[in-house]
């Protein structure tokens, strides 16, 4: 059961690393500069008018392509151990393939990495955080099995280019969002909206692409470069609405998280059996000649199993679940396969994002579940954070971080092997479909100023003090008039 919230200072485990994260499309801007080609997010924001809130785009975003020195200065102000950022495939390989490496794009990442290392801030690099080359999307993107090779070729290039200095690699950020929202629904590029079909094909190809990159690193780079490589999965916590829903909540977890986690982290590998059974049964009732969930062959199961040095966990919030049946005539639909739906009670404290309620005990439960189900793997929390409107005084964000870090410390005390914690985000950035309306930053970004001026929020002072003292202190009140110093 979840622990009671304790309003007392706690010492942070000495080995635990602290960082902050961003992703390329959300911060870089310079969408067509210096040889960069078009990604699926460039395409949807330019072709579908106002697909993003306020008709915003990431064309300029935080302009980090030009402001990266300021970004590193902020990392130094905060005293981060590491910074997680992602590479833009179309900036490094404008044709999508390694036939042409874009020197200027490479130079940008070299500059960023070298600037960080000057100050002993370790890079944690995500190879793919949602900005697929549009050309590959035209060929089917993550539903084309050739993407396994395309992604592996791209991974080889970045290991060769940056692996001498990068010791933490994340292959792919949140396959559930890529496949579920981008291919199953239309809440993310490429807006494919083919639920219960494209999302499952995407899932298989993403797993194989990830595993290929892992084995490539393992076989050809690890010895010389000595880094670690894993995947980041998004796992909300799903709590049964009532005692009658205990089983349905577990079914829901296996669909939402287990589809990706079970093949990589479980002892037997493969998709979870409940997922295979439910999709196969409904597919058959609908008249499909085979399950809409593609099979993993015995060789593929072996290949994917164990292909991660750590469990990268992105966690934000918790949902309740309840059984909900859909008529068999209903079009193919992921949630109809599950026969369970999630919701969040109105009484729960909300953030400024409508999907994000503050439920710290869910963080404890998700960490406990990972420990128990997957034999206590090393966990890197690669994202955790809170949405607010504009404004520098963000006491609600401070409260969120304190309570969630407290829940994480409970899980660590109970044996979870958490090695790193990453705040999302270093600074405000393009929050995908919500544009610049929802702010996740420790630093506020002024989108009216040409240089996208960054200013520390109150939460930045609190995060800094926690890292400096290595103590989670509920009562620390920063004096913001003193300013941020390195």
Is position 303 an interface residue for ligand GBH (rule: CB under 6 A)?
A: no
Q: Which of residues 110-139 bind ligand GBH (CB under 6 A)?
A: none
- Residue 396 exposure: Cα atoms within 13 Å on the Cβ side: 17
Nearer to ligand GBH, 155 or 173 (CB): 173
Q: Which of 431, 439, 458, 459 lies at the binding interface for ligand GBH (CB under 6 A)?
A: 431
Residue facing ligand GBH at closest CB distance: 187
The nearer residue to ligand GBH, 110 or 437, going by C-beta atoms, is 437
Region near ligand GBH per CB under 6 A, out of 91-99, 111-119, 278-286, 424-432: 424-432
Which value, in Å, is the radius of gyration of the alpha carbons in the chain?
Answer: 21
The verdict on 62 binding ligand GBH (CB under 6 A) reads no
What 3-state class would DSSP assign to 326? coil
User: Which helix H or strand E contains 82, and what residues bound it?
Assistant: strand 82-86
Write the CA distances from 144 to 41, 140, 150, 257, 263, integer angstroms.
19, 5, 10, 22, 20
Is residue 335 at the binding interface for ligand GBH, with CB under 6 A as the rule? no
Least CB distance to ligand GBH at residue 424 (A):
5
The yes or no reply on residue 187 touching ligand GBH (CB under 6 A) is yes
Collapsing DSSP to helix, strand or coil, 59 comes out as coil
469 near ligand GBH, rule: CB under 6 A: no
Range in contact with ligand GBH (rule: CB under 6 A) among 69-77, 170-178, 245-253, 303-311: 170-178
- Which of residues 316 and 319 has its CB atom nearest to ligand GBH in the complex? 316
Helices (H), 142-266: 147-162, 175-176, 198-216, 222-225, 246-253, 259-265
Considering the rule CB under 6 A, would residue 432 count as an interface residue with ligand GBH?
yes
175 vs 272 by CB, closer to ligand GBH? 175
**Could you say whether residue 447 binds ligand GBH (CB under 6 A)?**
no
Q: How many residues bind ligand GBH (CB under 6 A)?
A: 15
Residue 38 CB coordination number (10 Å):
17
Beta strands in 93-160 (DSSP E): 122-128
Residues in region 65-104 near ligand GBH by CB under 6 A = none
Closest distance of CB 479 from ligand GBH, Å = 30
Residue tagged active-site, from 28, 241, 373, 383: 383
Q: Least Å distance between CB 216 and ligand GBH? A: 24
* By CB under 6 A, residue 40 contacts ligand GBH: no
| Stretch 223-282 residues interacting with ligand GBH (CB under 6 A) | 234
23 binds ligand GBH (CB under 6 A): yes
- Residue 436 binds ligand GBH (CB under 6 A): no
> What single DSSP character describes residue 256?
I
Cα gap 269→298, rounded to integer Å: 10
Which residues, in sequence order, are CB contacts of 281 under 8 Å at separation 6+?
Answer: none
CB of 400 to ligand GBH, least distance (A): 13
Scan for tokens 């909540």, then name that residue: 249
Residue of 63, 131, 174, 245 interacting with ligand GBH (CB under 6 A): 174
What b/e string do you get for 216-233 counting C-beta neighbours within 10 Å, with b at 16 or more?
bbeeebbeebebbbbbbb
Give yes or no for a contact between 235 and 243, defined as CB atoms under 8 angstroms apart.
Answer: no
Q: Rounded CA gap, 129 and 138, in Å?
A: 18
Contact 452, 401 (CB under 8 A): no
Q: In the annotation, is 174 catalytic?
A: yes
How far is CA 16 from each of CA 19, 34, 417, rounded to the nearest angstrom?
10, 38, 10
CB 371 within 8 A of CB 416: yes
- Name which of 265 and 432 has its Cβ closer to ligand GBH: 432
33 is catalytic: no
Is residue 92 within 8 Å of 137, Cβ to Cβ? no
Of residues 346 through 375, those in contact with ligand GBH by CB under 6 A are 355
Please tell me whether residue 399 adopts helix, strand or coil conformation: helix
**What minimum distance in Å lies between the beta carbon of 94 and ligand GBH?**
23
**Of the residues 241, 383, 394, 410, which one makes contact with ligand GBH according to CB under 6 A:** 383
From 221-229, 333-341, 370-378, 426-434, span contacting ligand GBH (CB under 6 A): 426-434
Binding site for ligand GBH (CB under 6 A): 23, 173-174, 177, 187, 234, 314, 316, 355, 383, 424, 431-433, 440
Which amino acids are annotated catalytic? 174, 383
């Amino acid at each position: 059961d979840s622990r009671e919230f304790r309003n007392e200072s706690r010492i942070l485990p000495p080995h635990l690393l602290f960082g902050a994260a961003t992703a390329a499309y959300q911060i870089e801007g310079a969408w067509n500069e210096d040889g960069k080609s078009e990604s699926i997010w460039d395409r949807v924001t330019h072709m579908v008018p106002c697909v993003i809130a306020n008709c915003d785009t990431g064309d300029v975003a935080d302009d980090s392509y030009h402001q990266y020195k300021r970004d590193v200065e902020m990392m130094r102000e905060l005293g981060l151990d590491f910074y997680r950022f992602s590479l833009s495939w179309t900036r490094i390989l404008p044709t999508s393939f390694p036939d042409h490496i874009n020197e200027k794009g490479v130079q940008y990442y070299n500059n960023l990495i070298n600037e960080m290392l000057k100050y002993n801030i370790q890079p944690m690099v995500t190879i793919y955080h949602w900005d697929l080359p549009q050309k590959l999307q035209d060929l089917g993107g993550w539903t084309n099995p050739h993407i396994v090779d395309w992604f592996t070729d791209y991974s080889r290039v970045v290991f060769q280019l940056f692996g001498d200095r990068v010791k933490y690699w994340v292959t792919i950020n949140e396959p559930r969002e890529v496949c579920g929202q981008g291919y199953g629904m239309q809440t993310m590029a490429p807006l494919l909206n083919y639920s219960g079909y494209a999302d499952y094909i995407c899932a298989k190809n993403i797993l194989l692409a990830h595993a290929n990159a892992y084995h490539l690193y393992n076989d050809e780079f690890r010895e010389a470069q000595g880094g670690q490589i894993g995947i980041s999965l998004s796992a909300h916590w799903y709590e049964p609405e009532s005692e009658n829903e205990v089983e349905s909540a577990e079914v829901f977890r296996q669909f939402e998280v287990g589809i990706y986690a079970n093949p990589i982290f479980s002892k037997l590998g493969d998709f979870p059996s409940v997922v295979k059974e439910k999709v196969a049964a409904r597919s058959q009732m609908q008249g499909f000649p085979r399950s809409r969930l593609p099979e993993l062959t015995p060789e593929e199961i072996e290949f994917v199993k164990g292909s991660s040095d750590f469990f990268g966990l992105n966690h934000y919030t918790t949902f309740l679940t309840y059984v909900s049946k859909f008529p068999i005539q209903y079009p193919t639909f992921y949630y109809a396969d599950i026969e369970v739906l999630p919701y969040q009670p109105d009484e729960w404290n909300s953030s400024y994002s409508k999907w994000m309620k503050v439920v710290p005990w869910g963080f404890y439960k998700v960490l406990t579940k990972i420990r128990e189900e997957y034999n206590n793997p090393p966990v890197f929390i690669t994202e955790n954070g809170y949405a607010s409107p504009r404004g520098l005084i963000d006491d609600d964000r401070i409260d969120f971080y304190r309570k969630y870090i407290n829940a994480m410390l409970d899980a660590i005390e109970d044996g979870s092997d958490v090695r790193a914690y990453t705040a999302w985000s270093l600074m405000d950035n393009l929050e995908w479909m919500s544009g610049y309306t929802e702010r996740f930053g420790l630093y506020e970004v002024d989108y009216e100023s040409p240089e996208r001026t960054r200013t520390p929020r109150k939460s930045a002072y609190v995060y800094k003090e926690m890292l400096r003292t290595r103590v989670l202190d509920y009562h620390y009140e920063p004096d913001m008039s003193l300013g941020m110093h390195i």
